[in-house]
Structure formats: structure tokens, C-alpha cells
């Protein structure tokens, strides 16, 4: 929370945005060397964190209040109020206490789980380079304050609203603020921007990203004082639902339908039998709550948080908890080639002309382009710089046309000895397309790039691709001596120098990891900007069977329907642009696949957002890390394979709660619905139903700790509502059958009255519900798969409590009476037979159904 006694700094006015450049630091009480650490801390105490979300204490209060906004909780509290008004004080206190305890257990456990996950996310929180005490330091983006001087480069997210002090070939994507998809050029001009200009050229705003170039800027506003902060509510769109969120939603709809039917049925029957209205209403409501697994949010949160902690030990940091399930459900991995399937230790090994002869001019021009490029450096640029130092002391950069993923090339306008040249490097096919002449090795004369020459160049390109080389095309043209600006239109009539050929060997660990993913039921599809020949070479080296390929130009012409029809038989998507990669991923998802995508560059952000689970690496650019749901601390597919296993373990434990809760609860609630027709009294008091439900939930709190059978990990796991519904109906019916058997024993053999009947069935229903946990938690025999000791202790402890409760002073509060020994022994016998039958029915059901 901001310190009220700390010094304050006013929000930026129009003066701060439009003041002359030399006056900015003074207005912001800063200096060209930035703030001191002491001053920065003082301002942080005054302005608060550089975040758009509410403060932690506010989020906690809102989260707690939201739980009381649950419709079932509101109805129960309303019912408790009716009980109080009608004089049922005991019912009021018990119902209100049980509801509050359920809400608090859910809130506390989920809050602790979220804290554990937040601590992990903090390990990969975004940082920014800022001047503090005159030195460039890495500062958490959340700790920036007005007056900080920040250093920006390609790939960075702009961390706050800033006025540019210096800028060099700076292009920024402001789509989030303006809706314009194309990058805009920024500069540090001193003159004032127009008062009504939304995004002036000399400012960079929070929510935008640096595409190319570099800059130094002073922070004018942070957090909610930024422009995006003022409209955050409007801009914040709900994320595209993932496989996990869709599954939770569908499960909720299933429970709501069944609950509504039972609720109306029971209420109608009680009214037809002229039973007390208030008692009938409370009974129906308690029945509805008994069917609803109200601790599901807590079980989900705790299970996912524990999964996140375990995955951190496997070098995977989870940013979005639901992504753990999505990773476990993943059955298609769309992977780029470089860095994921290859070592990304790229070396420049050849420089050749269009015929494949060695040509030193290629390295000369490539080196000039790479040396002066200020955009996001690629491994190819590093390889060029490492290949052979070239003396560029006599060269001076004039301008730059930054790289973008549509053009797939970068151009540098540079000068030497009064002559100016535009030097271009990029995708070979595109550079050739914009060239009109070429030079052979050892020649100083240019020749026309006619059809014969183009055929020769393409043959060389294909031959080198078949050998596994990754290629860049290098070209140049001389321009007028006074040309001081370059743009895309200048990239024409070029002289093609030749090809720079690079080797990027396949990763040693990738073959093993791909085999492991295949064993887990995950298919790998390669989506890359590289050409098909190079990609096939890498796939052959790694043992990836290629069933078909689609190239970018072909994909551009395909309809969504045509693409969908080709997906199953296509392994490679080559020469694809970033929007095309995202399109492939969305098409796979529409076909019902759960898709993962690893990426670390600016161009990967659309695909990371389109996938069910986006994965980035710790040293990725800010844009990629922000878009990803998980961060891999090691760029290794083996880490990903272990993450898939952990995701499936986590989802299996969530499904244990769902399967146990729905089948047992449905069985008991169905039995109660039938009992209201057969019995002259309620089969269980509303208070007893709520207590039964609370104790049953308590017995399952340790499920997140439970072990998972290996058989549950070998294939993708996902929500299957038909499987859940059928399992609930089959096992629930078996449970109801034994409930009706218990009714017969109590009524006809033991002649039980109302209180004795209700007490006996409370004990029997809780014993069968809890003990069947050990049957349902595994697909094998219960004695072959031991549960976690905590689950054993919780479950057996609750059973013991249920048996002992009628003999305690609390019994009268709940309407219980002591059970005679013969009844208790009979209930134990019924429960034992039920467990044996439930195991046989479970195995029969699983042998006929997949899930």
C-alpha cells in the first residue's frame, strides 16, 4: 500500500508531455543519470506498484465476497434467514456456520495455493533496464516510478508511459492502444506534439512493444495513471477459453441440470404430501447443496498449485494455473525448428554466388548489414559477425528499414567515401524477387538476372537446402549520394550478391524428447519460416515422420475448410508468417485438438496467444514471455515432456474428486428423492444433509496430495462430460441400491423410528461415500495402488467421527440418537458388501468406456 507520509509526485500534465526536451528531467525531478535508489524507493512508496491490478488486500476482499455471491450460498443464507424468522434458531446457526466454514476453507486454501503460484511467477516476472545511481540496472517492471530513465530495445514491452530522450531507428507496435496493426516510427524530437494527438511520435506508452531499434526514455506515468491504466477495464478482454475452462464450464452445466430436476421433484413431492413448507424448502435446498461439489474450486486450485510447485522442480514455471491441465491434455505440439529442434548454435559456413561458387563479396555485404542493424538480432546476425571480422571503419550508417515478418528482410542505407548503398539481406526467394542483376564470384561487372540466371539461383538454393543449410539472400544497390532516408519502395532493382549458408545442427536431446512425446500421445507438427528442404533434413535427422507439407504461399490461398481437411495428413508448415502460424494453431483447435506452442521471439506472440498452452523460455523477449502461459527454464523438449506428465497427474487428481463427488452425491441425493415418496418423514434432516456434505468434503481435502497410477499418464487427459455423466449414473445407481437395502433393514427388520432411521442412514451414507474413495481413486485394484497417507488419515478419521458422533453431547444438536450395536454392525456389513460390488461395477464400466 502507498505510504501516506511519503513524498508525492503529481501525475503528468500536458506540460510534461509537450515541454522542450532539455526541460523534461527538471519537470520530473530527475536527471540524465536517472534516480538514486533511495529516491526511487521513496517514490514507489508514494505512487504504488507499476501495476494495473488492484492492490493485494483489495483482491483478497473481492475474492472472499465473490464466494458469498455464489447462487447456492445465497440461497442457503436466505434459507437460514427464513429459519431464524420462523423460530428455528438451531437450524439458523448450524446452516449459517456450515456455509461460512465451507466458504472460508475454500478461500483460505485457494489463497494459499495462489500465493504459492505467485511466488513461482515472480521468478520470471518482467524486468526492465533502468538508470539507477548512474548505472544501467535490471529493475522489476512493477518497481518503476515516474522520473526513472529506462533503456528500450527490440523485443521489450514498454513498461510505462514514457517521453523519449533518445531514439535510434525505433519502431513500436501500438495496436493495443490504437488498433493499428502496423509498427510506427518514433523519435526524440524536441518540439511539442499537438495537444490532441493520441500517441505522439516522441512518446511510448505502456502496452506497446518495441519491434526494432533502441531508445532511452523518461517515465512520466506508471500503473493506473498510464493511458492504458485509464482504459484498462475497456481494453481487458476475457482470454479465449482453453480446454480446461471449457471443461469446468460444461461440468457446471451438467450439475446445474441434475440439481434443478431433483430440487423441483423433491419440493413437489413434499408439497403434495402436505409436509411443512419451511421444512420442505430447507430439505430441498440442502439436497441441492449436497449434490453440488462446492469444494471443487478449492480442490482444483490446490491441486494445480501443487502441480505448479512440482513442475518448478522440473524447470517449468507456471504463469497461468489452468495451463497445467491444458499441457496434460495436449495432443499436438506445434514447434518451430530453430532452437527447439536444433541447437541454435548457428555457424556461417559458406558464401556462394548463384551458381554455388565461393564469393567473398557475400560476406562483405552481409557483415555491413548485420553490423549496422539495430532491430532484434537473430542468431544468423551473430553468426555473420563471428564468421570473419570485416573492416567497416570507413562506413557510416544513414538509415534502416527494419526487419518485419511479412517482408522477411532488413535493409541498411550506409555510406563509404561519399558513395551510398542500400544493403539488403533476407529470405532468399524474396531477395531474388526484388533483384534485377547479379554478380558472379571474382567479377566486378553486373549481369542481368534473366530467367536462366534465376533458374540457376533456384537450383543452387534447392541443392543447399537438401544438404541441410539454412540460407540468406544478400543484395545491394547504389543510390544517390544525398539520399538520407530509405523505405520499402527502395528495395527494388537490386544486385544479387549470392547466398550466405548456415548450419544449425539438430539437438542431441530432441530425438529422445520427440520419442517421449510420441509415447505420451503427443504429435509434433513443425511450423517454421524456413524452407521445406531444410526442414525435411532436420526432421529426418530427428526421426520425425513427415506425412505431408504445406508452404506459406499455398496456405495463403487455402480456405479455412480446406486447411482443416489437410491438417491430419500434414506434418510440416514451411515458409509461414506469424499470422499463418497462429491460423494453423486455431484450425487445429477447431478440430478438437489441444495445442501447445513454444516460442521466444516477437513473431511468436500471436501463436503463443492462439495455443491452448503457450510456452516460452527465460531469456525470451518480453513480448513472448508475457504472451506465454508457462516459462521453460531450460530450452529442452525433455523438460516439456516431463511437464506433460505432471499436467496429467494434476488433472487425474482433479478428476478423482469429480468422479467420487458426483457419483456418491448423486447416489445419496437420488436415494433421498425416492425416500420422500416411501417414508412418512424426511429421510434425513436438512441440518444432517449439510453436515454429511461438509464431512464428506473434509474427507477429500487430501486428494491433491494423492498418487496417480502410471496408466493415467500415458495418454492425453481431458474433460469428457459423457464419461462423467455415465459414471455418475452407473456408480450412483449402485450406491442408491444399497441405500434402499439399508432402508429395508431399518424399517422392516429393526422397526426404526424417525430419529433412529435418520441417524442410521447418516452413518451408512457417510461410510459408503467416504470409503468408496479407495475404490474410485484408481483404475486398478485398490490394494495394488496405495493412496497418500494423508488421504487415508482424512478418510478414516471422518468415518470414525460419523460413527462416534451419535454418542456425543453434540448428537442432540443434529437430531441424532445412539445406535444399537446390532444396527451398527449391520451398517458396517452393508458398507463392506457395497465396496466389493462397487469395485466390480467400476471395472466393468471402465472396460467399456474411455475417459
Tell me if 612 sits within 8 A of 595, measured CB to CB.
Answer: yes
Q: Residue holding cell 419451511?
A: 278
- CA 522: distance to chain centroid? 18
Please name every residue paired with 348 in a beta bridge, in sequence order, or none if there are none. 502
Q: How far apart are CA 120 and CA 319, in angstroms?
A: 8
* Pairwise CA distance, residues 576 & 604, whole Å: 12
* Tally of CB atoms within 10 A around 2: 13
Q: State how far the Cα of 724 lies from the Cα of 744, in Å rounded to an integer.
A: 30
Q: Which of 336, 353, 404, 612 is catalytic?
A: 336
117 phi and psi angles, rounded to 5 deg: -70, -40
Looking at the chain, how many residues does it have? 851
Residues 305, 628, 851, 775: what is their CA dihedral angle, to the nearest 10 degrees?
-10
491444458: which residue's cell?
326
In the block, cell 446457526 appears at: 93
Dig out the grid coordinates for 677 from the structure: 415418496
Comparing CA positions, the residue from 496, 502, 501 lying closest to residue 453 is 496
Q: Output the nine-digit C-alpha cell for 183.
A: 509498427
At 398, list the grid cell: 544513414
Q: What is the Cα 399 distance to its own chain's centre? A: 39
CB atoms within 10 A of CB 821: 8
Number of H helices, E strands in the chain: 32, 23
Q: In angstroms, how far is CA 778 from the centroid of its own chain?
A: 29
Gap between the Cα atoms of 842 and 657, Å rounded: 16
What backbone phi and psi angles, to 5 degrees, belong to 614? -95, 135
Burial zone of 485 (CB within 10 Å; 0-12 exposed, 13-18 middle, 19+ buried): exposed
In our burial notation (b when 16+ CB lie closer than 10 A, e otherwise), range 556-583 reads: eeeeeeebeeebeebbbbbbbbbebbbb
Q: C-alpha cell of 112?
A: 494459499
Residue 352 DSSP class: E
Here the cell at position 678 is 416411501
List of long-range contacts for 792-797, beta carbons under 8 Å, 24+ apart:
793/702, 794/698, 794/699, 794/700, 794/701, 794/702, 795/699, 795/700, 795/770, 795/771, 797/699
CA 330 and chain centroid, separation: 12
504 counts as catalytic: no
Angle at 670 between CA 666 and CA 671, to 5 degrees: 120
Rounded Cα gap, residues 660 and 772, in angstroms? 8
Bridge partners of residue 186, in order along the sequence: 170
List the grid coordinates of 501. 549458408
Helix (H, G, I), strand (E, B) or coil at 832: helix
- Chain centroid to Cα 152, Å, comes to 26
Provide the terminal-to-terminal Cα distance of the chain, rounded to the nearest Å: 48
Residues 770 and 661: their CA atoms lie apart, in Å, by: 10
Phi and psi at 338, nearest 5°, equal -70, 125
Collect all residues with Cβ–Cβ distance below 8 Å to 446 and sequence separation of at least 6.
437, 438, 439, 495
H or E stretch at 478: strand 470-479
Positions marked active-site = 336
Amino acid at each position: 500500500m502507498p505510504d501516506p507520509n511519503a513524498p508525492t509526485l503529481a501525475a503528468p500534465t500536458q506540460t510534461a508531455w509537450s515541454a522542450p526536451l532539455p526541460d523534461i528531467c527538471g519537470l520530473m525531478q530527475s536527471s540524465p543519470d536517472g534516480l538514486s535508489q533511495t529516491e526511487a524507493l521513496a517514490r514507489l512508496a508514494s505512487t504504488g506498484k507499476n501495476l494495473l491490478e488492484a492492490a493485494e488486500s483489495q483482491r483478497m476482499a473481492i475474492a472472499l465476497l465473490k464466494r458469498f455471491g455464489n447462487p447456492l450460498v445465497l440461497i442457503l443464507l436466505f434459507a437460514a434467514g427464513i429459519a431464524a424468522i420462523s423460530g428455528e434458531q438451531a437450524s439458523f446457526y448450524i446452516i449459517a456456520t456450515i456455509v461460512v466454514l465451507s466458504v472460508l476453507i475454500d478461500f483460505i486454501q485457494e489463497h494459499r495455493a495462489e500465493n504459492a503460484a505467485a511466488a513461482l511467477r515472480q521468478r520470471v516476472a518482467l524486468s526492465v533496464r533502468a538508470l539507477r545511481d548512474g548505472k544501467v540496472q535490471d529493475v522489476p517492471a512493477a518497481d518503476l516510478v515516474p522520473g526513472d530513465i529506462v533503456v528500450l530495445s527490440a523485443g521489450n514491452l514498454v513498461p510505462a508511459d514514457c517521453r523519449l530522450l533518445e531514439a535510434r531507428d525505433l519502431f513500436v507496435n501500438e495496436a493495443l492502444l490504437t488498433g493499428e496493426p502496423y509498427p510506427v516510427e518514433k523519435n526524440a524530437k524536441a518540439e511539442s506534439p499537438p495537444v490532441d494527438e493520441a500517441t505522439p511520435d516522441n512518446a511510448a506508452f505502456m502496452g506497446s512493444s518495441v519491434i526494432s531499434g533502441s531508445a532511452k526514455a523518461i517515465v512520466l506515468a506508471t500503473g493506473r495513471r498510464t493511458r492504458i491504466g485509464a482504459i484498462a477495464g475497456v481494453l481487458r478482454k476475457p482470454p479465449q477459453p482453453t480446454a480446461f475452462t471449457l471443461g469446468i464450464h460444461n461440468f457446471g452445466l451438467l450439475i446445474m441440470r441434475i440439481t434443478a430436476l431433483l430440487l423441483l421433484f423433491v419440493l413437489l413431492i413434499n408439497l403434495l404430501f402436505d409436509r411443512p413448507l419451511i421444512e420442505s424448502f430447507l430439505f430441498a435446498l440442502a439436497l441441492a447443496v449436497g449434490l453440488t461439489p462446492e469444494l471443487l474450486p478449492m480442490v482444483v486450485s490446490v491441486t494445480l498449485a501443487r502441480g505448479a510447485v512440482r513442475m518448478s522442480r522440473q524447470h517449468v514455471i507456471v504463469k497461468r494455473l489452468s495451463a497445467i491441465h491444458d499441457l496434460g491434455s495436449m495432443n499436438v505440439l506445434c514447434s518451430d525448428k530453430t532452437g527447439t529442434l536444433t541447437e541454435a548454435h548457428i555457424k556461417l559456413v559458406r558464401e556462394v554466388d548463384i551458381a554455388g561458387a565461393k564469393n567473398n563479396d557475400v560476406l562483405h555485404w552481409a557483415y555491413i548489414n548485420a553490423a549496422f542493424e539495430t532491430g532484434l538480432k537473430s542468431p544468423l546476425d551473430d553468426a555473420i559477425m563471428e564468421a570473419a571480422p570485416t573492416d567497416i571503419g570507413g562506413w557510416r550508417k544513414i538509415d534502416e528499414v527494419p526487419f518485419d515478418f511479412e517482408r522477411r528482410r532488413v535493409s541498411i542505407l550506409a555510406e563509404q567515401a561519399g558513395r551510398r548503398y542500400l544493403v539488403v539481406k533476407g529470405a532468399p526467394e524474396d531477395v531474388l524477387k526484388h533483384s534485377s542483376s547479379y554478380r558472379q564470384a571474382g567479377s566486378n561487372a553486373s549481369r542481368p538476372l534473366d530467367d536462366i540466371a534465376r533458374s540457376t539461383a533456384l537450383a543452387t538454393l534447392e541443392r543447399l537446402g537438401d544438404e541441410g543449410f539454412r540460407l540468406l539472400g544478400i543484395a545491394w544497390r547504389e543510390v544517390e549520394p544525398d539520399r538520407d532516408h530509405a523505405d520499402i519502395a527502395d528495395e527494388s532493382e537490386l544486385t544479387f550478391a549470392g547466398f550466405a549458408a548456415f548450419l544449425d545442427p539438430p539437438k542431441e536431446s530432441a530425438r529422445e524428447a520427440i520419442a517421449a512425446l510420441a509415447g505420451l500421445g503427443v504429435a509434433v507438427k513443425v511450423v517454421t519460416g524456413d524452407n521445406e528442404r531444410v526442414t525435411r533434413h532436420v526432421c529426418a535427422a530427428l526421426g520425425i515422420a513427415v506425412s505431408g507439407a504445406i508452404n506459406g504461399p499455398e496456405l495463403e490461398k487455402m480456405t479455412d475448410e480446406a486447411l482443416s481437411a489437410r491438417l491430419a495428413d500434414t506434418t510440416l508448415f514451411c515458409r509461414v508468417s506469424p499470422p499463418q502460424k497462429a491460423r494453423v494453431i486455431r484450425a487445429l483447435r477447431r478440430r478438437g485438438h489441444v495445442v501447445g506452442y513454444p516460442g521466444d521471439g516477437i513473431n511468436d506472440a500471436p501463436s503463443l496467444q492462439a495455443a491452448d498452452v503457450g510456452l516460452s523460455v527465460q531469456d525470451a523477449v518480453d513480448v513472448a514471455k508475457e504472451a506465454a502461459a508457462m516459462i521453460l527454464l531450460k530450452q529442452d523438449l525433455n523438460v516439456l515432456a516431463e511437464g506433460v506428465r505432471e499436467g496429467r497427474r494434476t488433472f487425474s487428481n482433479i478428476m478423482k474428486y469429480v468422479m467420487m463427488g458426483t457419483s456418491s452425491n448423486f447416489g445419496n441425493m437420488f436415494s433421498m428423492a425416492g425416500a420422500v415418496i416411501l417414508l412418512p418423514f424426511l429421510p434425513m434432516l436438512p441440518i444432517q444433509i449439510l453436515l454429511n456434505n461438509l464431512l464428506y468434503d473434509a474427507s477429500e481435502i487430501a486428494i491433491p496430495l494423492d498418487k496417480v497410477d502410471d496408466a493415467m499418464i500415458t495418454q492425453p487427459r481431458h474433460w469428457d462430460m459423457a464419461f462423467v455423466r455415465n459414471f455418475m449414473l452407473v456408480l450412483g445407481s449402485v450406491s442408491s441400491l444399497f441405500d434402499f437395502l439399508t432402508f429395508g433393514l431399518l424399517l422392516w427388520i429393526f422397526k426404526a423410528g424417525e430419529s433412529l432411521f435418520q441417524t442410521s442412514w447418516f452413518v451408512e451414507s457417510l461410510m459408503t461415500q467416504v470409503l468408496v474413495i479407495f475404490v474410485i481413486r484408481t483404475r486398478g485394484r485398490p490394494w495394488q495402488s496405495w493412496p497418500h497417507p494423508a488421504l487415508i488419515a482424512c478418510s478414516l478419521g471422518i468415518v470414525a467421527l460419523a460413527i462416534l458422533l451419535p454418542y456425543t453431547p453434540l448428537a442432540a444438536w443434529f437430531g441424532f440418537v445412539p445406535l444399537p450395536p446390532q444396527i451398527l454392525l449391520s451398517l458396517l456389513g452393508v458398507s463392506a458388501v457395497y465396496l466389493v460390488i462397487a469395485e466390480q461395477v467400476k471395472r466393468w464400466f471402465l472396460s467399456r468406456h474411455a475417459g
